Chains A and B, each alone.
Chain A
Amino acid sequence: MLIHVENLSHTYIPGTPLARVALHGVSLKVGPSERVGVVGRTGSGKSTLVQHIAGLLMPTEGRVLIDGVPVHERTTVARAARQRVGLAFQYPEDQIFEQTVFREVAFGPRNLGLNKTEIAERVRWALGMVRLDPAMESRSPFTLSGGEMRRAALASILAMRPEALILDEPTAGLDPRGRRGLLARVRTWQVETGAILILVSHNLDELARIVERVIVLDRGLVVADGPVRQVLSNGALLSAAGLDVPQSVTLLRALHDAGWDVRTDRLLPEEAFEEIVRVDAGHATALRALQSVEAR
């Protein structure tokens, strides 16, 4: 699948004193098998952008093409294109409405016209992906805990087997282990199927572990688009966009400023640790060499 966002602008409640421009002529392309992170402060346009890619909003200007089909049109091909994109909302309770977890997760597959056996098979698979106990199938999704509700909402999107999966802050409220496990399984699925994965997240650790490319939005504009290491280690860029720098980068930068010869684009704690050890080992070798020269 190829997603092509063309000069996309969006204004909320235009023509009123409350009008607000959320996107400002955004253009970008996302190709098959890409894993892309979208970051930006609140109100930067992240959620608006991904809702456009899912065909849920009408552009004020510009358009979104899925394999060449403009997704917002009222045509059968556009509808088919929209069904290939799955978006899990930021707040799971915004998308949950069914009486039982099973019906909630089955809603999408049923709309795809699948038969009962296929629907049941997809529901089992999707609940397994998010690690929700099959015993919960008959419960009302509204009786679930926050973390469980989030998993159910995500399962209902996965059950559609989308060719582009968009997750808007998918792991808020999940504990670190749940978060890592869930994303690792989504990633495995993504690699196997060649789907596009778009991850909107404030969790830089999560992005560093999952995506290869990061798009930074600020006030409705794309201010950076590049490899994850490069973008997330660029302190000036991130702070201008109102974002934090990963803790590991802050540490490495402080060491670098103190004269250590460390790379500052190591985003994860384990990478920062290895970098410190590597430079220290080099240091020790150099010191030994120097001492042996002096000894002679």
Chain B
Amino acid sequence: MPPFIELRELEYSYPLDGGGQVAALRGIDLTIERGEFIALVGPNGSGKSTLVRHLNGLLLPTKGQVRVEGLLTSNPRNLWAIRQRVGMVFQNPDNQIVASTVEEDVAFGPENAALPPDEIRRRVDEALATVGLVEYRTHPPQMLSGGQRQLLAIAGVLATRPACIVFDEPASMLDPANRRQVLDTIRQLNSEGLTIVLITQAMEEATAARRVLVMHEGRVAMDGPPVQVFEHDAQLRDWGLDLPTAVEIAHHLRERGWQLPQGLLTVEQLARALC
């Protein structure tokens, strides 16, 4: 069986208005297996959004290849099948909400796939139950809060039954409670076998993933479990990234000669290590 998603020597340049181009991705080799939970971090302009837009053929490589279950994204005949496997949730949910009631919005994907009505019904109900919006079924989306609209966007993608969902900063506009709800939903989906790629600027969120990719200037500059990646604190800071609070404090304490165990990612873990 081919790897789930495979990027080979991927390069991408954006065309500029007045001619010329800007290199956004400069040679990326990456394999994503089924069931992974990947956090993608990096400064603005490092190529995070450009990279994920290649995973379902929203962008096509200038050079190199992207395959999803062996299917090349550059072949237009594959796009339908690829997009059924890889769904996307964007930062601003209003950009992907299309219908005038919550359930119609969730039904949009399955309807386009020409599924029978009872199957559409089943998928809509399941998706709404997963994100906890069943009671708002008949509401117009604009009456939902920002967090609820983001959950609706997730439900709309879920109803198409993808194998992977890519989240492009899904929680950066949300309040803490909604953010937690969205992240808990993401974690739950992953535990049910869905592959997750999560772009985030909040390093605390990245600690939830099993694999962290750090992008810098169009390349994947680091790739590993969170504990390992956050050990490179000086490098990360140099690239303008934050560290999780616990990692930062533990780092300063170690510099002053404190003996602390490795692998402290949360303030709860740090508190236990200190006490």
A32 at the interface (CB under 8 A from B): no
**The one of B17, B174, B248, B274 that contacts A42, using a Cβ cutoff of 8 Å:** B174
Given the contacts A176-B240, A251-B245, A269-B245, A147 and B45 also touching, CB distance less than 8 Å: yes
> Given the complex, which residues of A lie within 8 Å of B94, measured CB to CB?
91
Pair B256/A178 contact, Cβ less than 8 Å: no
Chain A interface, number of residues (Cβ within 8 angstroms): 43
Pair B175/A202 contact, Cβ less than 8 Å: yes
Residues in A130-146 with C-beta less than 8 Å from chain B: 138-140, 143, 145-146
**The one of B45, B145, B249 that contacts A272, using a Cβ cutoff of 8 Å:** B249
CB-CB nearest in chain B for A172:
B172
Pair A248/B240 contact, Cβ less than 8 Å: no
Given the contacts A140-B17, A174-B44, A276-B274, A43 and B145 also touching, CB distance less than 8 Å: yes
Pair B172/A276 contact, Cβ less than 8 Å: no
Residues in A80-97 with C-beta less than 8 Å from chain B: 90-91, 93
> Given the complex, which residues of A lie within 8 Å of B176, measured CB to CB?
41, 202, 242-244
CB-CB nearest in chain A for B169:
A173
Pair A42/B147 contact, Cβ less than 8 Å: yes
A294 at the interface (CB under 8 A from B): no
B177 at the interface (CB under 8 A from A): yes
Instruction: State in angstroms the CA–CA spacing of A59 and B50 once bound together.
Output: 43
**The one of A148, A173, A175, A247 that contacts B267, using a Cβ cutoff of 8 Å:** A247
Convert B18-42 into 0s and 1s, putting 1 for each residue whose CB lies closer than 8 angstroms to a CB of A: 1000000000000000000000001
Pair A177/B240 contact, Cβ less than 8 Å: yes
Convert A226-249 into 0s and 1s, putting 1 for each residue whose CB lies closer than 8 angstroms to a CB of B: 000000000000000011100110
B241 at the interface (CB under 8 A from A): yes
CB-CB nearest in chain B for A47:
B146
Instruction: State in angstroms the CA–CA spacing of A250 and B246 once bound together.
Output: 10
Pair A173/B145 contact, Cβ less than 8 Å: no
6 pairs of A and B residues whose beta carbons are closest in the complex: A177-B240, A254-B271, A247-B245, A244-B176, A251-B267, A176-B242
Q: Which residues of A contact B (CB under 8 A)?
A: 18, 20, 40-43, 90-91, 93, 138-140, 143, 145-148, 169, 172-178, 202, 242-244, 247-248, 250-251, 254-255, 258, 260, 269-270, 272-273, 276-277
Known interface pairs A247-B245, A269-B248; 13 further A-B residue pairs with C-beta atoms within 8 A, sorted by A's residue number: A20-B143, A43-B145, A145-B45, A169-B173, A172-B91, A173-B201, A243-B177, A244-B176, A247-B204, A248-B245, A248-B267, A254-B267, A269-B245
Can you sample 29 A-B contacts with CB below 8 Å? A40-B175, A42-B145, A42-B148, A42-B175, A91-B94, A93-B92, A138-B18, A147-B45, A172-B172, A172-B173, A173-B169, A173-B172, A175-B42, A175-B240, A176-B201, A176-B240, A177-B240, A178-B43, A178-B44, A202-B176, A251-B249, A254-B268, A254-B271, A269-B245, A269-B249, A272-B249, A276-B253, A276-B274, A277-B256
